[in-house]
Structure 1
């Protein structure tokens, strides 16, 4: 009996919702995934994890979990660790890959150590920051910066600053999400994203927004954001970008599926932003867009993600 036939006989729980700042997006992703799996004949139970005790999964005879939780709790290794402990297989990255990819500061440090191209940055600790340090940070990073909470996704809590007053305010905002904040040199260039499916990098997508940057509003609310896929890079540039994305994905220990966000600076150099281990999965999200160009329907995509979870070896008893 083939792996796919085995999986088709399994009871799949789609974990979605949760209580992170990305709850609303996760609710949409989970519903879309569940619909896609049901259309493929899977037995699916949708579970909103907000206020839910995961130990109840054992009473539902769940064979495998499709994680559709974005942000804290679902994308940072927490739910992965719980499922490992319970011996329930799940989609996507393991505990380490999830935790490291979610931590913008440490994933940047790993990429830097691996020699992967990423913009200059400073990690700022809430306990040791004072306004007098703002000018020094700006001077070190070229005078204009992007401020990012270390453990949020969907551009939540992010803002731009080009003077000490703006930076102090941006950091105060970001500190409301995280005690550690990433301050990154501003990249003046186009933004791309590369979806990863196993060992395969899907066609890159170029995002265009009239906003100052590709923020939450541009991602989820705007009707003026443009997505180009194919993105009209030269064949060589596309291959270089896909190769870098795969390297970044592996550097943080990510597995199975995900998405790597990259920008190109004014010197045409690629600069890796971050690795997303549970990116958005509505039928109009970026990973399904790229999969469609690669010839995969939404149903084939979610099925492949389940297949990859059966193929991965996390070293745990359920593999």
Structure 2
């Protein structure tokens, strides 16, 4: 848990909660704040299974997965290839499109170009191509006269995608099962603060949406999980424009390592279908593997 990414604090929170839940489930747990000595620490500990509670770059982009494969340690969540693929938003969208899953138009552009001109007609969204948790996301509204003043912290190449209006929906896949759909309600943009500040958002689970939209979310999330080669737990996020019916449902991205506090979206969905947080964490440990 922890690690050096922009999502370090979220990861520490996930790690603490998962460690406590696994102890409740009867496992012996050692918590490791992932640093440059990670390989040495894991060699010293020699665990039966690694529960990967890292978020963001290095922890869910295939890097630590490769290290764990090299050490021959079974680990939770997706493997090297699917982790790297899902973390790259542009390649994820290409995989979605190839599978016939609905996405909005998007492109990769130089940070300086995005600062200097509208690289696509507003409204659009600018985000890093390989971060999560809405880190570094800019919404350029339809009436915007000027392009966004991107921070110097943004990478040199960013993703620009057409803004998808509508409701924020999400579905968790656990193995080969899509659990349920959550409708995420906020007063504004579902950004980092809305995700992690108490009271920043409200979750309706199961979502009160038409049955055909509910079923489509389950089917699309399971298909995305399969197309990206995920294993264990994943969560796929959607936007749904009610005015357009099923044609208004689009996929945003798939998170191969969703937040794992008891009130995070995926554990909340598991609870809604009768799976307690300790039971979910225990299932993930028993599902852990290497070389696949």
TM-score after normalising by structure 1: 0.85
**What SS does the corresponding residue of 2:30 show, helix, strand or coil?**
strand
Measured against aligned partners, the alpha-carbon deviations of 1:198-220 in whole angstroms (never above 9, x if no partner) come to 00011111101002x11001001
Shift of 1:236: 2.9
Shift of 1:256: 1.3
**What SS does the corresponding residue of 1:184 show, helix, strand or coil?**
strand
**What SS does the corresponding residue of 1:267 show, helix, strand or coil?**
helix
Residue 49 of structure 2 corresponds to residue 72 of structure 1 = no
Residue 171 of structure 2 corresponds to residue 194 of structure 1 = yes
**What SS does the corresponding residue of 2:155 show, helix, strand or coil?**
coil
Aligned partner of 2:267 in structure 1 is 288
Q: 1:100 aligns with which of 80, 85, 93?
A: 85
Is 1:76–1:100's contact at 8 Å kept on the other side of the alignment? Answer: yes
Tell me: CA distance 1:165–1:236, structure 2 relative to 1, closer, same or farther (3 Å): closer
CA distance in 2, matches of 1:116, 1:180: 25
CA distance in 1, matches of 2:13, 2:115: 40
CA distance in 1, matches of 2:238, 2:265: 14
Measured against aligned partners, the alpha-carbon deviations of 1:11-33 in whole angstroms (never above 9, x if no partner) come to xxxxx011111111110100000
Aligned partner of 1:138 in structure 2 is 120
Q: In the comparison of the two structures, how many residue pairs are matched? A: 288
Measured against aligned partners, the alpha-carbon deviations of 1:23-50 in whole angstroms (never above 9, x if no partner) come to 1111010000000000011011100003
Is 2:8–2:55's contact at 8 Å kept on the other side of the alignment? Answer: yes
CA distance in 2, matches of 1:185, 1:263: 12
Structure 2: gaps of 5 or more residues: none
Measured against aligned partners, the alpha-carbon deviations of 1:45-104 in whole angstroms (never above 9, x if no partner) come to 100003433232122121110000000110100000000011111001000100010111
Measured against aligned partners, the alpha-carbon deviations of 1:100-134 in whole angstroms (never above 9, x if no partner) come to 1011111112212222101111211347x3666x3
CA distance in 2, matches of 1:273, 1:167: 22
Aligned partner of 1:91 in structure 2 is 76
Is 1:138–1:164's contact at 8 Å kept on the other side of the alignment? Answer: no
Larger displacement relative to structure 2 (17-26 or 231-240): 231-240
CA distance in 2, matches of 1:248, 1:92: 15
Aligned partner of 1:245 in structure 2 is 221
Q: CA RMSD in A?
A: 1.8
Is 2:111–2:154's contact at 8 Å kept on the other side of the alignment? Answer: no
**What SS does the corresponding residue of 2:19 show, helix, strand or coil?**
helix
Shift of 1:166: 4.2
CA distance in 2, matches of 1:299, 1:244: 27
Q: 1:220 aligns with which of 196, 203, 206?
A: 196
Q: How does 1:249-264 map to 2 (within 5 A)?
A: 249-264=225-240
Structure 1: gaps of 5 or more residues: 1-15
